[in-house]
Structure 1
């Protein structure tokens, strides 16, 4: 049974990057009136108490969302994301961090749909309780990768598929590629956003080679590092692989990443990256 709990890492630098990208993609999809599906394959608990035992034990949010949420010089690209953060923290105290399902819930419109899966026995009931009164949403305790077969293509033929596995299993690095292939065969015009951690750089290089080998076009890589690559234990960077990104996303991330890097990594030991793995 998987033991990973995102509550230990909620609001860290990787979440800031992931949810900035997620928010910008959702805002781009909303520019057209036609509804779309938000599919979250590894949704987590939905909401995280930053004063709780897990978050306090690691304190990772102090070097993530805590460094930016009240800054007055936030770039415009952060506005959708930060609007959601403020919605859950209305009294000037940073108490809660919303995961990707709650960020989507706040940003989606009445006629859009949310479909979320989570297998963890503790996180699933928490996630389900968040959406009990939301008619747009379905929350299932099922394998997220299977949803790429079962739920695609959506009736609207528009959608964002967010894939955020724990990578607790080394096979996840291969499973995500296979999952994207399965989804893409059914829904080639969808936007796929895959989060990845950099623990061992060689794993990421292999995953990128495997993605290139699928023949899928328009693959954009976005990465934010907080320390140089290392063979020691721990995540030094994280990134997002976006297939079929909105046309503005590349320039938006090039605009916001320097500010995020300077604010989240004042030591100057980090790096940023926006590049096409496979162009048009």
Structure 2
């Protein structure tokens, strides 16, 4: 439990992950009926960009900092709009003082009828998250193993919603646990949307994970990946992806259209790239 996302909040991987998350939530919000968001590894919710952790690495400057300073095309601007709306909401305007994690993005874009279960195993972070949402009756905070949460909280009472699994990848075997989580979610909440974040370090391990996830039998399954330099070797994280089961029907096409521009914006060298993989499609 040593991983602390405060050192990495707002980096390039967060941009992709949270922009995709915001688009999924915007899609869910098109219907009046409430939905539930279950976040298995939730963190603390909000990250102070003036805190020592953020200042020590400065990773946010190469992620959200670049996006905020850019003038994107209309297509990329539209794709980023829900995420940027959440940024403004938690900061109370255009100044970038704090960076929202998945819980803060979800609640910023949510409505009175929506419900949230945020889980965080790290005791100190769980306490911080609990304090953040002490006055929000829509939110429940748990502090168990995140993979137990995926099994225990499904299916949600609302029968619609999103499960987020974003583990720290501190221990060996994380991809195996993620594969089991995909299969568990499919059994318990077959019609729900599932979003899983993963790092791209060992490409063979990523390919094996995606193949195992495809075996769960979701009718629609996509993976969105981006790397700011060629993955592999030592050093800081070079690439990351999100696996989305039961994605909004437009998500793959619209992301594929803007991914080259987003990749150029976040690239660190000529080895940067990205792709959208359609692992399973209806029909």
Deviation string for 1:67-110 (max 9, x for gaps)? Answer: 01243435211111001112233465422101000000000110
Aligned in 2, Cα 1:150/1:91: closer, same or farther, shift over 3 Å? Answer: closer
* Helix, strand or coil at the partner of 1:66: helix
Q: How many residues align?
A: 279
What TM-score, normalized to structure 1? 0.95
Deviation string for 1:224-252 (max 9, x for gaps)? Answer: 11011223243210000000001111122
Question: What is the aligned partner in structure 1 of residue 159 from structure 2?
Answer: 157
* Helix, strand or coil at the partner of 2:91: coil
Post-superposition shift, 1:210? 1.4
Question: What is the aligned partner in structure 1 of residue 4 from structure 2?
Answer: 5
Post-superposition shift, 1:206? 1.4
Post-superposition shift, 1:188? 0.3
The answer to whether the 8 Å contact 2:90/2:104 transfers is: no
Unaligned 5+ residue runs, structure 1? Answer: none
Unaligned 5+ residue runs, structure 2? Answer: none
The answer to whether the 8 Å contact 2:35/2:158 transfers is: yes
Distance in 2 (CA, whole Å) between partners of 1:229 and 1:30 is 35
Aligned in 2, Cα 1:267/1:98: closer, same or farther, shift over 3 Å? Answer: same
Question: What is the aligned partner in structure 1 of residue 56 from structure 2?
Answer: 57
Aligned in 2, Cα 1:229/1:267: closer, same or farther, shift over 3 Å? Answer: closer
Q: Aligned runs of 1:18-167 on 2, under 5 Å? A: 18-73=17-72, 75-90=77-92, 92-167=94-169
* Helix, strand or coil at the partner of 1:34: coil
> Which of 248, 272, 275 pairs up with 1:273?
275
What TM-score, normalized to structure 2? 0.94
Distance in 2 (CA, whole Å) between partners of 1:36 and 1:89 is 25
Q: Runs (4+) of structure 1 moved beyond 4 Å?
A: none
